[in-house]
Chains A and B, each alone.
Chain A
């Protein structure tokens, strides 16, 4: 049967089982919107800004194992979406973004609302397509979903000119997809896996460093089993939190710039390092030469060969999907007669416990002024450590990462690679829609929240009862901290003057707002907010504006060159 390009587009989404599409209409996508109107399988969420559409689709994807889908119009619709696309790209999140384009005969004429969407997004997508013929829509969307989700996931943009969405073509959704130039390696090389296993068995000071790849591969079960079997300490990157249960005694916390003392010293001093789905980011290994100055063997598991030996040279590389590789590695270890060296490990743990003794996450609570760390700890308590915590970017993000102990994967949702302020609220919206009834907290700052505050309106329209935990320090705190440490206390434009009354603002959008100014009110306010199951509650916590995030490994420094709270 012949269908229009717009009908085909929607049919494809239905075939893919798409539950939600986050979007914003405009001229170039009107035919597609018309088809959305005529059906009710794919639910459309009308955001208030295209950046938010992409972040919401992204939050949806991160908290499930599905592909997030967004729909935007040509020109400003696409350019608004770019920040969202780049955010997903840097964290390897599977998205399909459909953009309208001016009619094919207008392309290249500087037509109304024309931008080269494929060109503008090229450096921040896994792949993108311009569809020039309605008969190619189905196969292109099939490829888009497959590319987004397989291998190293990422966003894929499909640009559809207006005339293409209106012309007719025969529709059939391909059952399978084959791209001859794209064959991600899923299974790891067994020889390499055996070498790695042997190395780990012989280690005196083994360490496991696991990142976002574990979450993306849904491999926390295998990781947990492996870490227990090895008896090694395990650290997570910011993106890997929840990949290994934080309450387990073998967990040494997050590593990197704001990682714990024990995690960073463990990294620096281990003799065999197993890196799992983590990419030796510069916020993790700030100074590669300093890291390399201590000899150690490194095993690296990653589905993307380009992640391996990019910043840090490794000894054993295993290209493949974490879940598959770890299962094979477990099988090898379980069938080996050799066991990890218990004696050596005893000493290693003694050393680690010594580092733990530095208590690098301790802070001085106050009865006068609200400490941000205390808010997060209380949030953890009130939500039984079981909430989806979606964060914005800044100091509050680091405190949420440090003090909310994540025991499950896909519960910690944040923008790590691009560090996009404004991510939190729309992403939380996507998370809540994916998990109706679940507890969703959006930890944010007064700076970040204002970058997508308009989504309070979307939350009202679709009854999205997230809880906004704003750590309002009246500063672009993370910037202020750097200015304090590295720019002689010159707080150049990091003070947020003329802040809105967030309680009134929340109310203006039809939500509930609570102002919290005293430490003794923190717990009560959180309880009250989370008891309101059906309301969006905006908690405006006036926190200590001078508080800094510790520990801190300054940019370019080595992992052991850390600043602790007590140093200052």
Chain B
């Protein structure tokens, strides 16, 4: 085991602190770009608030559309924090350390937007507080509200706890920062002195939180699945919905995680910290999850397809060779089968480019899949649609809906970037401690010790 000398600890901190508050040209471009989309979405939302939900393409048959699909997507993505911080922790994967803060940032942003989507979808958002004043505990919506709120608070704490020692490092090291920042850091670091007792307490708190947050995370998404599984509608009335949502979510979250670390690696020059080892390991997880999700899909669609009960038939036909067939087969083939093939080969899996490509496909598939869970089922109720007015028996989202959808996704990415800005994206103290204890290899970092020898990296 190699012991790090204080000088090298110093250098790790210097490098990781280098991203704090620093401006990157590409990043600034993205922030402006995403910000503009968000402004567009806000305008669309104001129009929607004034004119009512009539500006969307939702009508009495398809009474839930893109917004609820996105709710499911965001709730799902928020599971990635629990996967990295809890599941990987319990399985003893040491390479998780550089990923923890990134995963928690994704979680925070996703759960924030997950809480926002239902408000966008409400006919009477000004009555939101009725959920508290008149809430009825038997409704799954209320469970969802409670679960999302709990998970949000839990995620904030989980984001904050490992940040404390890093804030203390920032407080001590970045002495030329503006006064208000220094004050804020001092306040947030809560008198962290980095002694043994503090470390022990912090680690204990993180362990307890990790145990508590996992069931909360799973319940958040299971309850979202129940929103539709608790109805009697053909296609939704199914016991597989809970696990189907949870594993689909983990899969989408892992894909997003891969894409984000791929971007950060170059954007923030973190090649030594986010290494092929991380991509390779995440790719293996993604492979397992996509394969399992394919298996769940076979169960979800295959079992009723064999029986072809009258009501299910209309939905299944729509998906297999009807109006939604293209999207359906896209999610199955491009979203699952091709990524599985790509990720199955060790050689290909070791190339970051291919892993990223597979993740893009999985993510696209997962997004479309959320839509396919919601909309086609609503178009095929028990009582066949008859005498429908124009626009009632179809669902073609309007420009307003697309704008709001796009800006929610943009806002999600923007919030992640903004969460990366004020803090080092990699948990410094944990990485230093683990490198000290186990060496670079197990943590998955490379050459961080002599990085200053590589020209152009010292910042």
A, B in one complex: no
- Chain A residues in the interface with B (C-beta under 8 A): none
- Chain B residues in the interface with A (C-beta under 8 A): none
